[in-house]
Structure 1
């Protein structure tokens, strides 16, 4: 029982804690960040707070509202801190962002992956606040880089936000002051990126960009038809989320009836598994090529970065679906993918440690994860994907992040443990 007042065994009156709503939001944020929106129930949140589900519903009408309020509360907290820091200057704004995102670790990931599960009004409100957040970053970057135009400043603003968000995608644990110092160093490397002159861009994708397959008639060849189904499903899952897309939607996207898909895939989850598997195949392919073509470890790292950027630009739907929807797979398949993903990151980390033998695995992991977040976020951000030089500037920024000298603070701290 959790009303305005509660009676104990001897008739004493115990009032509901004044911060109950805030406690619920903290617990909900932790649960959503840990398990994802679909795998978190109102009962899970109520149990974490120590109240009944009925009591939870007196504060929030449902899980969707609870997610929306969690995101809005977190964003308002970050915006408030950036506004206060802005009085001090651009460096304070950038550092305030990294500090806030570390303190709210896990929540920034929800801004990116779960916003489409919100009610329309909350979704618009969350996106508006993220744009406001980027506005603070644009102002701070403009102070440091008055030589850049508005589009390049906005690009760097989104990259800086990706760096701040990146700790939500891994579990490296460091003392807060050390972590903030490392992230600030990486942010400084991003803000210092150089942009190519007009006509000096490199071609992002050999053979031109990937075709939009939504309007292409269904081919007769079964193999090609299967590939079209995989591509259409990846695009729809990446855009709307696995739970919001039905077999009929995928069939309509490739010009066949929904049931016809069952001639190719046993179920929708089987199709999702195929998408994740294709993503892994691409990663293994370009990793092997980067290693084979390199003469030195540094060459291997830079080659791997270039191939990763090209893959991300060419196949954002494969990458995005794998990033956000793998939790819908059966546990064994999801665990297999997560092990493969950790193994891929570990390969980057080992190569960076060969180049920088003084660098700890934690230090290397922080930098690699920051780089991958920048690339993945950029190819899914409609405000950036129209850039003709996207591949070039992502390689430039990624190179600066990977080779940033941000490890000394980490390694000195680790050596004292």
Structure 2
């Protein structure tokens, strides 16, 4: 799944807001302590209580141990389930093998009889989640779109952690394992594209690619939802909405377009831009200050004239991304004619930001877990407040929509945008911004016209 930004909670994913979860964010994106409320009967969504999250951060309560009086035959499966929860909730770097053993009710030595190390366990967790989530893509017959989205919504909901695991944690795997899992994901995406083509033979390859990734983005967004989904119905409706969309025309991807040659004159800004790109591409833990300095021709102690530490670089990048969201929001609200007009412009501005600043979206979605606690908590609150602004506008446009459904729809839009921004074959296509704008408006039940200038 391309990436996302988590919104308002540690996955992210995906956004975390802007998610970007990624994200992506895209990627972003990213969810939100939005206004509370109770879902109406049969809606399939129930709000999670304040502070709860589908993938809470490191400060969350530990998982209840699965104490066993005797060794169960499915101990390996229990270990994978416990690790899946802890990796998605606390992050791979913050979950120790002893924590996983305690969650299963066994000693560390028993855990190591099943898995030689934490990285081996991570591979098992991501592999199982990927296969289980994507299993719903295969039972439907050719062109059976209603069956496809129903089955895929069910399997995606059963492994809703996959978005966070793939977009944030899988980067900790060895390159060859990550590449093999990526091939499996792309094979599943091609299966989905084939189903879309069978159901809609008029689609050209560019639109099929966009809508298949967008449908996967709906599944990825589940990892960032701060609501309890009691049935797959809403998820299936959103997948169906994406799969049946008729976006405007798309050009050929510009994968070989040369990068601009202009760079920051300020050494501080050059360092920040380089660090943001490196953190997004390789992960915060794999990048050193020396790597960042080398990228802009600064060596040794000179880096410390601008940033006190690698954490200082990360915190500055994340803070700048969050503040940019608020500036965009203020510029949207000031000239808006009404709530619907403001929401359409907000969708458009977020799309433009994610496409232009995909590395920043990714960092917010995937690396905010590495912030020090005070910065992490402040960032989450900023993100929650930002998402609350989306929800306020959406409620004004659709007052009958439950707060829970509104949160699901907003997070889905952010995740789909972030994911596309992180997918070069899509993000570099001329017209992708207008296609995403139409998708975003449709997912929010908005009229897409007129397109903001």
Please say if residues 245 and 439 of structure 2, whose CA atoms lie closer than 8 Å, have aligned partners that are also in contact. Answer: yes
Select between 107-116 and 263-272 the one with higher mean Cα deviation. 107-116
2:238 to 186, 195, 198: 186
The structure carrying a bigger helix percent of its residues is 1
Task: Select the structure of larger CA radius of gyration.
Answer: 1
Q: Which runs of 5+ in 2 are unaligned?
A: 1-68, 448-453
Quickly say closer, same or farther: Cα 1:74–1:197, change in 2 above 3 A: closer
1:133 aligns with 188
Quickly say closer, same or farther: Cα 1:360–1:211, change in 2 above 3 A: farther
1:282 aligns with 324
Deviation at 1:50, TM superposition (A): 0.9
Please say if residues 133 and 159 of structure 2, whose CA atoms lie closer than 8 Å, have aligned partners that are also in contact. Answer: no
Could you state the TM-score of these two structures normalised by the residue count of structure 1? Answer: 0.85
Instruction: Output aligned runs, 1:334-413, within 5 Å.
Output: 334-403=376-445
2:281 aligns with 239
Quickly say closer, same or farther: Cα 1:87–1:193, change in 2 above 3 A: closer
Select between 229-238 and 92-101 the one with higher mean Cα deviation. 92-101
CA offsets per residue over residues 41-98 of structure 1, 9 Å max, x none?
A: 1111111111111111111111111111111112222344432334793322222222
1:103 aligns with 158
Please say if residues 156 and 191 of structure 1, whose CA atoms lie closer than 8 Å, have aligned partners that are also in contact. Answer: yes
Query: Is it true that 1:78 corresponds to 2:133 in the alignment?
Result: yes
CA distance in 2, matches of 1:320, 1:239: 9
Aligned-CA RMSD value: 2.2
Deviation at 1:396, TM superposition (A): 1.1
2:120 aligns with 65
Please say if residues 247 and 258 of structure 1, whose CA atoms lie closer than 8 Å, have aligned partners that are also in contact. Answer: no
2:334 aligns with 292
Aligned-partner SS, 1:59:
coil
Please say if residues 207 and 250 of structure 2, whose CA atoms lie closer than 8 Å, have aligned partners that are also in contact. Answer: no
Quickly say closer, same or farther: Cα 1:197–1:104, change in 2 above 3 A: closer
2:91 aligns with 36
Quickly say closer, same or farther: Cα 1:218–1:174, change in 2 above 3 A: closer
CA distance in 2, matches of 1:373, 1:281: 19
Select between 76-85 and 324-333 the one with higher mean Cα deviation. 76-85
1:169 aligns with 224
2:174 aligns with 119
Please say if residues 218 and 254 of structure 1, whose CA atoms lie closer than 8 Å, have aligned partners that are also in contact. Answer: no
Quickly say closer, same or farther: Cα 1:112–1:130, change in 2 above 3 A: same
2:8 aligns with none
CA offsets per residue over residues 313-370 of structure 1, 9 Å max, x none?
A: 1111111101111111111110110111111111101100001111121111110000
Please say if residues 166 and 373 of structure 1, whose CA atoms lie closer than 8 Å, have aligned partners that are also in contact. Answer: yes
CA distance in 2, matches of 1:217, 1:325: 24
Quickly say closer, same or farther: Cα 1:402–1:259, change in 2 above 3 A: farther
Select between 288-297 and 253-262 the one with higher mean Cα deviation. 253-262
2:14 aligns with none
CA distance in 1, matches of 2:237, 2:218: 10
CA distance in 2, matches of 1:79, 1:168: 14
Deviation at 1:240, TM superposition (A): 0.5
Deviation at 1:217, TM superposition (A): 6.8
CA distance in 2, matches of 1:217, 1:365: 39
Deviation at 1:17, TM superposition (A): 2.0
1:408 aligns with none
CA distance in 1, matches of 2:156, 2:150: 10
